[in-house]
Structure 1
């Protein structure tokens, strides 16, 4: 008998001791159904690794940087589908069924979820809608949307480019050349702290400006410095 498809969930982490245990505990039902959870640590100076170890299938040490950490996690994964999950993001409970059934039914090789932000400010509901609509219109996904990709598509794409920002946009652009993403309407829930700390409108304008400059060929190192 053929084994059912398996998802490897890869979480890049850096000093995430405050929330990593809750993130991984939420994935316990998926592990119980046979899926794999890998934490790719970028040199945390806190208790991230110690807290994560009993709640993950593997801890991978990687050079600091989300692209490098996710690539290292993917290299250690053995799933048929790779799913990249930020440490402050939660999947819907039936994420594995949605991903596997969606990929099988639609013939797509990759995809992403809609997004829900944790904050209660009304403007955040507008931001959620904008993110999802933009992604559907452009075929580009961001890391907050929990990008997933079949292993064969991942290998042909060559993984995330080793850049400090826009690695998700770059990978999406490469994958889109082979086919448009599966856009799942089910939402992942991700922290709104970035929007709340910087201000919603300020963050919107910053992200639009950075994406435009990246599309025009700006150096990702310089963009990353402004993003921080």
Structure 2
């Protein structure tokens, strides 16, 4: 028994949402909830043609869309699915079959293209930031007991690093588990902006986060020219 929550916003351009919906459509005892933030492409049509449940909103932040999906989830275990990741089906089945034994955790990250720096990034995300510090980003596809998510207050109302924040809170309740099954994630930011440039930008974003930078200003910079998670009517200055 598993609820899968996917926060969506104009997902057609990357092609991942169609892969997600097609790959998971025949899984038993699993519900898929797509919480859309006002897509202007064919995202909503794609969801409506699938067996996923659509929650149409005007929620601007990915965190807010995740919270809306969590509140509507029917099952005790909730899989918080990145909209540009694709999970190993065996991994989903393993999580569903052992959901009563697991408090929270994440899958094993891997990019969908091979490059030494991207391979290192995934290794660091899995082994160091994840296993040693208990912080996994949403592209690992986080999962947690629904009640545990409520116990920590759900995701904070911020536009970026909401996954870091909730992991730190969950760490205070239980130790996470990283399942060995792959969450293959789009490297679209690296391909669009350049691998080394995006890697440096990611480190800069982390620096600003740890020094309490404005989440809207950080995310406006992070999303500039690509707008994958948030679309601002007026870009905040960064």
TM-score of the aligned structures, taking structure 2 as reference length: 0.86
SS at the partner of 2:107?
strand
Aligned to 1:26: 23
2:65 aligned to which of 41, 51, 69 = 69
Q: What is the CA RMSD across the aligned residues, in angstroms?
A: 1.6
Which of 196, 204, 218 is matched with 1:201 structurally? Answer: 196
1:148-197 CA distance string (max 9 Å, x none): 00011011011111111111111111111112211112211111111122
The one of 104, 115, 119 aligned to 1:125: 119
Give the helix-richer structure, 1 or 2.
1
Q: Distance in 1 between matches of 2:134 and 2:166?
A: 11
8 Å contact from structure 1 (residues 39, 56) kept in 2: no
- Match of 2:172? 177
Q: Which deviations, in whole Å up to 9, do the C-alpha atoms of 1:32-88 show, x marking residues without a partner?
A: x11000110000011111111131331001212201111111122111111111221
Which 5+ residue runs of structure 1 have no aligned equivalent? 1-5
Secondary structure at 1:138 match in 2: coil
The verdict on how the C-alpha distance between 1:199 and 1:192 changes in structure 2, with shifts beyond 3 A counting, is same
Which residue of 152, 156, 161 corresponds with 2:147?
152
Residues 91, 182 of structure 2: 8 Å contact kept: no
Residue ranges of structure 2 left out of the alignment (5+ in a row) = 224-238
1:4-43 equivalent positions in 2, closer than 5 A: 6-18=1-13, 19=15, 20-30=17-27, 33-43=28-38
Asked if the contact 1:21–1:55 (Cα under 8 Å) also holds between the matched residues in 2, the reply is: no
The alignment's TM-score, normalised by the length of structure 1, stands at 0.89
CA contact (8 A) 1:113 1:184 kept: yes
Partner of residue 228, structure 2: none
More moved, 213-222 vs 168-177: 213-222
Query: Please, which of 96, 105, 109 is the counterpart of residue 92 of structure 2?
Result: 96
Partners of 2:154 and 2:166 within 8 A in 1: yes
- The size of the alignment, in residue pairs, is 219
Aligned position for 2:133 = 138
Aligned to 1:114: 108
Partners of 1:100 and 1:26 in 2: CA distance: 16
| Cα deviation, residue 10, structure 1 | 0.6
**Bigger shift: 33-42 or 91-100?**
91-100
Q: Any idea what SS the aligned residue of 2:26 has?
A: helix
| Distance in 1 separating the partners of 2:54 and 2:100 | 29
